[in-house]
Amino acid sequence: MEKVAFLFCIHNHQPVGNFTHILEEAYQKAYLPFIEALKKYPFMKISIHYSGILWDFFKDHHPEFLEILRKLVKRGQLEMMTGGYYEPILAVIPDVDKVGQIKRLTQTIQKEMGVTPKGMWLAERIWEPHLPKSLKEAGVEYITIDDHHFKKSGLREEDLHGYYFTEEDANVLKVFPGSEILRYIIPFHPPEETLDYLSRLRASSSAAIFADDGEKFGVWPHTYHSVYEEGWLERFFQLIGEHLDWIEPMSLGTYAIQKKSLGRIYLPCSSYREMDEWSLPTEAMVEYGKIVEKLKEWPEGEHIKRFLKGGFWRNFFAKYPESNDLHKRALHLREKIGDERRRPIPKDEDPILYLHRAQCNDAYWHGVFGGLYLPHLRHALYENLIKAEALFDRKTHREKEWIEVERLDFNGDGDEELILKNPEMVLLFSSRGGSLLEMDDRSKAFNILGSLTRRKEGYHQKILEARDQSPKDQASEVKTKTIHEIFDLKEEGLDQHLLFDRYRKVSFLDHFIAGPMDFESFRRNQYLEEGDFINEPYEMEVRRRGRRQEVLFSRSGGLRKEGGGDPIRIEKTFSILTYQPVVKAAYQISYSGGRRKTNFGIEFNINLLAGDAPDRYYDIPGYKLQDRRLASIGTLDRIGEVQLLDHWNKMGVFLKMDKDCHLWRFPIETVSLSESGFERIYQGSCLLFYWPLDLEPNKEFRVNIELGIKPFSE
């Protein structure tokens, strides 16, 4: 009887922009101890993938670790796998970057390990049928994804113990289905359960394929204790060693060469099962989860489950406009740069290098992992995008002072946008609300408007359920859980922070709010909006006046009243000069209804990343704030200027008005699910400047506002 081939594939990755101490912790708790354990068991053959971010980290901080890897590669224990260098979702980046990112990592592995990888790890297992063509061009011969993909094509569990051929335009690729069963067993259940699973395959002489994250061996909650301190991993390797008479540890590459294909298959657009659930709209995600739970109770549920489709990864761009804007900004820049062959240039001057970093997948989506909800990861992508764009523009514009204007629907949302640039900054306006979506300081490579809208997520119901449980109900036995089973609350009272916005949290949003003004209602987004300007389109006109570029947004709308609305018009003219990171807005409000009172407010949402850090705070001339944190809450009167200072980045953001106003300020905070449970995250500071208005027919209100960025030295 032939042996059962055990294919053990590990993927290791950290996002672009993650903190160095997080990478170091992952190294000490997962990457190093895993390899140290592996060294003791020469019979174990592992296919392993490290993203380019980790290769850079190892070279800079732990070159000794690379030497250990070289020895294991040389003695045949490790098969190195390639992938996109900065772990992009390959399906949603241009073909030239698919190939370029893979070749960049392959060349690194060749240089550091002396081997040429033929297998590839597909980021988040996001499969689309067009991929084989680019993968083959990049030198890839086989990949591993999830058995979920194959089940969607109609295959059964017993059909998934080997590899299949697939192709696009006659470019043939071998695809391995990683076992979901093993993904949930390893390393969370006793190692004997994996042996039991393998033993059930003995009669068929087939392969058992495990392919999952290396961080689950030490970084995921409680796993360092179970995997290393309690000895799960070594016990697992020992059990394999005790049964080598019928188990053969084997790399994916060896199996792909020695064994025949199980046939041909064409796979649908998919990822792993959980990702397909997370990509659904929130309401659909909740309903989908209920159906999955019901199927667990039905005798035929497991057979039916393989026909459930779930969602599609690209729908994250519809679910989160912030993700879509960032993705489309990167695509737009890539199109401008082009893919022509260029002479070698230094890394620091190569816009493609920074653009590749901006394609790192983690901050484009959200599920159990923080991803999009982590401001420092979003910032890292913008930082690299801004650097790439600055390098490109520096070569395009030879003069010292210049302004560039692009008017288009760059993000495919049906609304017209305007990209306005000078050497110091980039502005992205939307005709929807006549709002400002992005403001980049090029000197610091910083988008100061990188906030995130508070949205309802499918998992928020679990917070409300936890609130209503007694302490006895919440107590459970201590055991190692997968991240899909962890719903711990990192602080009490999180249910009080479940606030959701009716509009996107951007800047230069125009409000009309009836009196009496209620701060708490506005903060909780439970107030009554009298106007119809926030979510409606404005007309846009672009004009040049010497060294000044102007953009006029205008909208004729109405103020609510019984039986109709009073007509009111907003015109706001934005202007920039050729050399300053400052945008000036001149507002004119014209009214032609009956006499009435209202409050006109302009909302800004600014994110300097740290709401509680002592080196980032408000400075408001004429006031000594008791709490000046960017996450502070408060109301002030007779305000003419506000500054948000960032000593870490040595920059300040200022807002100036030529008419004193009232100010409301509060933090934008989301409650999201991460690997270790529910947490509250600062997403930016909301500032509402407002003026009480006594409206009369043909009476105008005017105000001028400046939003700017200034560097400062300590």
Q: Which residues are catalytic?
A: 124, 213
Whole-number Cα distances in Å, 436 to 450, 499, 508 = 11, 23, 6
Burial 158-176 (b: 16+ CB within 10 A, else e): ebbbbbbbbebeebebbbb
What residues form DSSP beta bridges with 88? Answer: 360
Q: Mention every residue, 6+ apart, whose C-beta is less than 8 A from residue 181.
A: 157, 197
**Do you know the residue count of the chain?**
714
Region for 534 from its dihedrals, namely left if φ exceeds 0, alpha if ψ lies in -120 to 50, beta otherwise: alpha
Q: Tell me the C-alpha distance between 370 and 447, whole Å.
A: 20
Alpha-helical (H) ranges within 221-300 are 223-224, 232-242, 252-258, 273-278, 282-297
Gyration radius of the chain's alpha carbons = 28
399 token code pair: 């003069």
How far is it, in rounded angstroms, from Cα 482 to Cα 188? Answer: 7
What DSSP element (H or E) covers 462?
helix 460-468
CA distance linking residue 255 with residue 6, whole number of Å: 10
Q: How many CA atoms lie within 13 A of 584 on its CB side?
A: 12
Contact partners, residue 190, CB within 8 Å, separation at least 6: none
Antiparallel, parallel or unpaired: β 616-619 and 634-646: antiparallel
Question: Which residues pair with residue 47 across a beta bridge?
Answer: 9, 79
Residue 317 contacts residue 327 (beta carbons within 8 Å): yes
Among the listed residues 421, 366, 415, the one whose alpha carbon sits nearest the alpha carbon of residue 393: 421
Burial of 121 (0-12, 13-18, 19+ CB in 10 A): buried
Task: Kindly report the number of other CB atoms within 10 A of residue 16's CB atom.
Answer: 24
Residue 537 is given by DSSP the state: B
The tokens for 564 are 């109709």
User: Is 55 in a helix, a strand, or coil?
Assistant: helix
CB 143 within 8 A of CB 132: no
User: How many Å separate Cα 327 from the centre of its chain?
Assistant: 10
Q: Are 248 and 6 in contact (CB under 8 A)?
A: yes
Q: What is the DSSP string of 564-576?
A: EEEEEEEEEEEEE
| Contact status, residue 13 vs residue 50, Cβ threshold 8 Å | yes
Q: Where do we find the tokens 């006895």?
A: 472
- The rounded distance, in Å, linking the Cα atoms of 667 and 524 is 11
